[in-house]
Chain A
Amino acid sequence: MNLIIPLCLGVLAFIDGTLCGFRSAAGRNPRIFMWHYYRAAFGRGAAFAAVTVLAFSVVAVGLVLLGPEGTWASLLESATVLVHIYGAFATLTLIALGLYLIGSFDFGVLASVLVLGPFTLLRPWTIMLGAIYAAATATTVIATVFSLAAGVVMWNFERLLDVGSPPWRGLEGDRRRA
């Protein structure tokens, strides 16, 4: 049984969810020293992503065990499509992120201007187009529905995290929340 592809897809979803946690928290806290704040935000995104990946894994296992013959193969085919599309997107994003974090001042800003900013806007569309393409080329209805469901969940991932990230209400507001 080929587990590499589902594993890759799970890792991609986990990375995406973790970065969603950061984005959802960014711009809501005006402090300068933000390590603890962002660490918590990354953690929240990662936890949320892990639960989502686990839920999809359980459903996939259930479908393979209870569904008709060929379900695993069709899910694997759709997952392969998704890994190619999302993998390319994630690779470019992570390279840019690395450049931003360890590159010089100019390279950092350039990575942000050319990749990190535009890719934030492209992300939901990439997710949805990838899911639609995987669904359209799927060989079973189960794989079609599974691909679209994964796309819809990831499309809404950041919005769901936003629900738990209220706007900053001043230091007093922080203390009240704590």
Chain B
Amino acid sequence: MRADWPELSDLLLDTDPLTLARKPVLRREVEATLKKHGMRAAARIVRGIPGGDVLDPAFVDGILVRSHCELQRLSFEFRNGERLLQLLRPLINVLRERTTERPIRIVDIGCGMGFVLRWLAAHARLGSDIELLGCDFNPTLIGHAQSLAKEEMLACEFRVANAFTLDRKVHVFLSTGVIHHFRGDSLTEFFKSQASVEPYALLHCDIKASWAAPIGSWLFHQARMREPLARHDGVLSAVRAHPRDVLLNAARTGGRPLKYAFFDGRPSLLPILRSLNTLVGIREEIRSEFVNAIGPLAPRLEAFE
């Protein structure tokens, strides 16, 4: 596997970025891309998808839903809700003091079936002045997120929407396991789009690039996942994880005026101890208050630039 290989889940879903309408995915185009990169395992998965020239969208949705269920199990195990909350709660406390705008809106970019927001709504007790909104381009995943939130009476909302063109003020953007999907210019554009909305902060949690990441990812995806696509893309995600300098450069190039730093981003001899890291972007005027607010976690946060 190589970092320039595309993730299969990205190839199986094609959405018009303006209308958000789902476009048919042509089998020959997907197969040509896989052949170009020599992705034989992924090609086998695609061969198993029914449909003629166009891949059966319902079958693809089934694969994606099952993969997201399995991914949620891994997120539970790695405590991704708590992981984000340890930075989000102090950030919210700072925002409560520094802005009179209510509600304070937190938007999860590429939320899938909305695990992180549903977990926060269920366990974090953030307060009634906090609005949790998840955005994703996939209507099936968003539909399940909405149904699950409704069934469990969780105070969060999900929309098929572009998170950067919402009709409401966004105070905090967050994401988990999303940022490695963007590469090159689109990564810079990703930060530019966020900065254009003028949020107070960004929290992007993703796999930390290291020699151990692909090994650990393979191990956990073999042990915990059943869906071939989830196993394939899970390992590829670790291979595609952005090195810290690449991510920081993209953020600082496209995402000004926010200041950026990594939480848990320092390279270590034993990267398994901190296998995920969070890129934090923050407005200059609340930077020092946020650093003070995270208290004992501050040594794990690098200097903002």
Cross-chain contact A167 with B275 (CB below 8 angstroms)? no
Cross-chain contact A117 with B79 (CB below 8 angstroms)? no
Cross-chain contact B78 with A33 (CB below 8 angstroms)? no
Cross-chain contact B113 with A30 (CB below 8 angstroms)? yes
Question: CB-defined interface of B220-253 with A at 8 Å, one 1/0 digit per residue?
Answer: 1011111000000000000000000000000000
Chain A residue nearest to B141 (CB atoms) is A30
Q: Which residues of B contact A106 (CB under 8 A)?
A: 273
Cross-chain contact A167 with B223 (CB below 8 angstroms)? no
Chain B residues numbered 54-101 whose CB sits less than 8 Å from any CB in chain A: 65-66, 68-70, 72-74, 77-79, 82-83, 86
Q: Is A93 an interface residue (CB 8 A)?
A: no
Q: Is B152 an interface residue (CB 8 A)?
A: yes
Q: Which residues of B contact A80 (CB under 8 A)?
A: none
Specify the main secondary structure of chain B where it touches its partner: helix
Cross-chain contact A28 with B69 (CB below 8 angstroms)? yes
Q: Is A3 an interface residue (CB 8 A)?
A: no
CB contact between A26 and one of B73, B83, B122, B123 (< 8 Å): that residue = B73
Most B-side CB within 10 Å, residue of A27, A106, A113, A171? A27
Chain A residue nearest to B150 (CB atoms) is A171
Known contacts A110-B273, A170-B144; A30 and B77 CB within 8 A of each other: no
Q: Is A63 an interface residue (CB 8 A)?
A: no
Q: Is B39 an interface residue (CB 8 A)?
A: no
- Total interface residues on B, using CB and 8 Å? 37
Q: Which residues of A contact B123 (CB under 8 A)?
A: 32
Cross-chain contact B148 with A105 (CB below 8 angstroms)? no
Q: Which residues of A contact B86 (CB under 8 A)?
A: 105
Q: Is A112 an interface residue (CB 8 A)?
A: yes
Q: Is A1 an interface residue (CB 8 A)?
A: no
Cross-chain contact A32 with B118 (CB below 8 angstroms)? yes
**In the complex, A98→B114 CA distance in Å?**
28
Q: Is B5 an interface residue (CB 8 A)?
A: no
Chain A residue nearest to B71 (CB atoms) is A27
**In the complex, A114→B79 CA distance in Å?**
15
**In the complex, A60→B79 CA distance in Å?**
44
**In the complex, A32→B147 CA distance in Å?**
12
Q: Is A29 an interface residue (CB 8 A)?
A: yes
Q: Is B137 an interface residue (CB 8 A)?
A: no
Known contacts A32-B122, A33-B122; A117 and B224 CB within 8 A of each other: yes
Cross-chain contact B223 with A31 (CB below 8 angstroms)? no
CB contact between B216 and one of A32, A33, A113, A120 (< 8 Å): that residue = A113
CB contact between B222 and one of A27, A30, A121 (< 8 Å): that residue = A121
**In the complex, A112→B272 CA distance in Å?**
10
Most A-side CB within 10 Å, residue of B68, B69, B123, B216? B69
Q: Which residues of B contact A121 (CB under 8 A)?
A: 219, 222-223
Q: Is A90 an interface residue (CB 8 A)?
A: no
Q: Is A168 an interface residue (CB 8 A)?
A: yes
Q: Is A68 an interface residue (CB 8 A)?
A: no
Chain A residue nearest to B85 (CB atoms) is A105
Cross-chain contact B148 with A112 (CB below 8 angstroms)? no
Q: Is B119 an interface residue (CB 8 A)?
A: yes
Chain A min CB distance to B115 (Å):
7
CB contact between B224 and one of A27, A32, A108 (< 8 Å): that residue = A27
Q: Which residues of B contact A108 (CB under 8 A)?
A: 79
Q: Which residues of A contact B69 (CB under 8 A)?
A: 27-30, 167-168
Chain A residue nearest to B144 (CB atoms) is A170
Chain B min CB distance to A125 (Å):
12
Chain A min CB distance to B64 (Å):
12
Chain A min CB distance to B2 (Å):
24
**In the complex, A161→B227 CA distance in Å?**
17
Chain B residues numbered 165-182 whose CB sits less than 8 Å from any CB in chain A: none
A-B contacts, 5 listed (Cβ < 8 Å): A26-B224, A30-B113, A106-B273, A112-B78, A117-B224
13 A-B pairs besides A30-B115, A117-B77, A117-B216 with CB distance below 8 A are A26-B73, A27-B74, A31-B152, A32-B123, A32-B148, A33-B122, A114-B272, A117-B224, A118-B223, A120-B224, A167-B226, A168-B66, A171-B148
User: Which residues of B approach A to under 8 Å, CB–CB?
Assistant: 65-66, 68-70, 72-74, 77-79, 82-83, 86, 113, 115, 118-119, 122-123, 144, 147-148, 151-152, 154, 216, 219-220, 222-226, 272-273, 275
User: Which residues of A approach B to under 8 Å, CB–CB?
Assistant: 26-33, 105-106, 108-110, 112-114, 116-118, 120-121, 167-168, 170-171
List the 5 closest pairs (A to B, CB-CB), nearest first: A27-B73, A27-B70, A120-B223, A32-B122, A30-B69
